[in-house]
Amino acid sequence: MTNRHRGGTGLAGIASPAAAPARRIGAGAAVFRQGDPATAVYIVESGRIRLVRHLADGSLVSLHTAREGDAFAEASLWSEVYHCDAVAEVPSRVLALPKPDLLRSLETDQAACLAFARLMAEQVRELRARLELRNIRSAPERVLAWLRVQAAGVPGVVPLDRTWSAVAEDLGLTKEAVYRALAALERAGEIRREAKRVVLRDTGI
Amino acid sequence: MTNRHRGGTGLAGIASPAAAPARRIGAGAAVFRQGDPATAVYIVESGRIRLVRHLADGSLVSLHTAREGDAFAEASLWSEVYHCDAVAEVPSRVLALPKPDLLRSLETDQAACLAFARLMAEQVRELRARLELRNIRSAPERVLAWLRVQAAGVPGVVPLDRTWSAVAEDLGLTKEAVYRALAALERAGEIRREAKRVVLRDTGI
DNA sequence: CGAAACGTTGACCGTTTTCAATTACAGTGG
DNA sequence: CCACTGTAATTGAAAACGGTCAACGTTTCG
C-alpha cells in the first residue's frame, strides 16, 4: 500500500537533479528533533524512521512510521521548525531533499509543483483507503478486503511480493491473526493459496 | 481530525472565485459512478458521502467516507474517469468544483498550485497520524492518545464539539468501548470530565 | 552449515464487541 | 409549561474475537 510497493515516491525526481547525499542514521539516533529548524524533506532509502511528537505533558505520540521508499516530513515544507522527532528504529539510510531546493522547484517549476500536488493527492487517496480497511473489525473480512483490492491487476489473483508478517502490519493485525484468517478463508473456499500468490474464489461474474 | 474540525478545506477558495452551485443528493443516490468521466472534485457541505469501489468479482470495498467539510475525489484530477462510486449515506449537499477550472487554476496559478499541494501534504500528515493512532490496541490508551493530541491548543484541555459516538468512529472503536475507556481513565485519575470538555491530568511538567 | 526470519498451528486469556436496558437531555408540538 | 420523542450517554452481562505465548517445521541467506 505504501510507496515501497510502487517503487519510490518520485519526490526525489522532482526536487534533486543532482544526487543528494544519503545520511546514515544509527538505531535510536534522530534525523531531526522537534523544534529544530526545518531544513529538508526526507526519503527513507533503507531502514525505518519513526516520527514521534512530544506532548506538553511529557508523553509521546507516534505520528508515522516511514519505511523503505517512504517520504516523510513533507509538510515541514511549510513550517519553520519540525513538529516532531524523527528517530531511526533500526540502522537506516535517508535521503535529504533540502527544503530551499524543493521549495524553489515547486515555486518556479509549474510542472514540478503539479507533480508534487499529484503525488500528495494520491497519497491521500491511498491513506484513506487504508484507514477505511481498518474499519473492518473481523480479521478474515479485513484480509479478504485487502486481497480483493490487491487483486486489481489480474482479476482474482494476488501476487505476493512481501511476507505475510509485513502484510499483517499494514492491516493492523498480528501475523498469527492473518494466518488464521487465511486458513479460515481457505477452509471456507473463499481463497486458494498457491506458491507465491493467492487466488480468489471465482464468483462467476 | 478531519477538515470539518479546522473549518473547511480551502479547496473551494483555490478553485472557484465564483460560487459553485451545490448539488443535493438523496440518501442512496450517487454523486458519480465508477467509470463516469471525471468532471469535478467535490466538497461535502452537509451529509455523508461514501466512496465505494466495485471489484471484478462483484464485491464492494469502501475507500473513504467523506463528511461535512471533507473534499473527495481530488485524485480524479489526474484521471479520465472515476474509479469508484460516490454514494450519499444520508441526504447530502455537495459542492462541485469543475475539473477544468481547478486544473486550469493549478496549471496557471503558481500560488494556487502550491496552496493545493500544501493542502494535500497536510492531509497526508493528518491521515498518517490517524492511522498511527489505530495501531494502539488498547482502547483506553488509544482514547488517551487521542485526547492528548486534541489538547494541542490549551494544554491539558480538550474542548468537545462533537458527540462521543462520532469520536468513537474516528477512533475505530464502538461508542461503548469509548465510554468504558473514559470511565477507566477517569477512575485512574488520568482525566477529568467536565461540561463540554475533558481535562487531562496535570503531570506538572 | 547454522542462525535468523518466516510460516503455521494450538491453547489460553483479556478485551472488545454485541445486545440490551436505563438514564439524561434537548427540541417539538400540544 | 409540560408530556412526548428521538438521540446521546452510560452501564451490565455474555459471547466472540484477536492478542499473546509457545512450539515447531521451513525457508533464506551469509
3-class SS string, chain A: CCHHHCCCCCHHHHHCCCCCCEEEECCCCEEECCCCECCEEEEEEEEEEEEEEECCCCCEEEEEEEECCCEECHHHHHCCECCCEEEEEEEEEEEEEEHHHHHHHHHHCHHHHHHHHHHHHHHHHHHHHHHHHHCCCCHHHHHHHHHHHHCCCCCCEEECCCCHHHHHHHHCCCHHHHHHHHHHHHHCCCEEEECCEEEECCCCC
Task: Choose, out of B9, B51, B61, the residue to mutate when testing the contact with A (most A CBs < 10 Å).
Answer: B61
Partners of B148 in beta bridges: none
Is B154 domain-assigned? Answer: yes
Give percent of chain B with pLDDT exceeding 90: 53
Q: Which of B110, B120, B134 is closest, CB to CB, to A172?
A: B134
Range with the lowest mean pLDDT among A86-90, A174-178, B138-142, B173-177? Answer: A86-90
Same domain, yes or no: B44 and B97? yes
Q: Which residue is nearest to nucleotide D18 (CA to C1')?
A: A177
Enter the pTM of the model: 0.87
Cell numbers placing A124: 491521500
Tell me how close the Cα of A159 comes to any Cα of chain B, in angstroms: 16
Total number of domains constituting chain B? 2
- 3-class secondary structure, B153: coil
Same domain, yes or no: B108 and B14? yes
Q: What is the pLDDT of residue A79?
A: 93
Is A2 domain-assigned? Answer: no
CATH number at residue A90: 2.60.120.10
Q: Is the CB of A177 less than 7 A from some atom of nucleic acid strand D? A: yes
Same domain, yes or no: B143 and B118? no
Same domain, yes or no: A46 and A120? yes
Q: Is the CB of A182 less than 7 A from some atom of nucleic acid strand C? A: yes
Is A131 domain-assigned? Answer: no
Tell me how close the Cα of B19 comes to any Cα of chain A, in angstroms: 23
* More confident site: A190 or B205: A190
* CA dist., res. B77 & res. B155, Å (int): 39
Whether residue B5 has pLDDT greater than 60: no
* CA dist., res. B179 & res. B139, Å (int): 10
**Residue A121 structural domain:** 7-126
CATH number at residue B174: 1.10.10.10
Same domain, yes or no: B83 and B167? no
If you average pLDDT over every residue of chain A, what do you get?
86
Is there a contact between B106 and A117 if contact means CB atoms under 8 Å apart? yes
Same domain, yes or no: A120 and A144? no
